[in-house]
Amino acid sequence: MTTPAQLRRTALSYPETAELAVDGTVAFTVQGKEFAALRPDRQVVLRMTPSDVDELRAAHPTARRVARAGARLPIGDLNGQQLNHWVRRAWLARAPKRLAAPVAAAGTAVAGEVGDLPKAIGSPATRALHGAGITTLAQTAEWTDAELLALHGVGPKAVRLLREEAQH
């Protein structure tokens, strides 16, 4: 079962995301446009393209269409990978092109093929770093361990490997 903490961590891993809390609802925005929210009744609301809404509804029978191009469903009806996928789709649908393009490109990044990032960190960490605009070891040095760990897909092992590689 997916938790609100995972929704928060995933949403905040995307560039220029802000978190707002109003009347028990926690909303995540990019450039002032809401892309995800968690209502007090533990329903996740995702703002996506109509085709993504249709795909979400086909994959998750409890998903319901909502006004203003979106869908909602209980957070507990999504596993972690599904939540990450749909939050990414929602962010991409609402983010300006200058932000969305590098994140979309990062979705196909392969470990060992982005800048001088080591292959050993794995593809999920490579995609997360690339999506944040990090393509070199020198750029990772500008981020704290906590900031790197906040990127969805970057775990303690990847941070350790990055730090070790940067010292060589």
Q: What is the pLDDT of residues 27-39, one digit of tens each?
A: 999 999 999 999 9
pLDDT at 1 (0 to 100): 66
pLDDT at 57 (0 to 100): 96
pTM confidence score:
0.74
What letter represents residue 168's amino acid?
Answer: H
Local structure of 114: helix, strand or coil = coil
User: Model confidence over 37-72: pLDDT tens digits?
Assistant: 999 999 999 999 999 999 999 999 999 999 888 999
Q: Which of the residues in the chain have pLDDT under 70?
A: 1
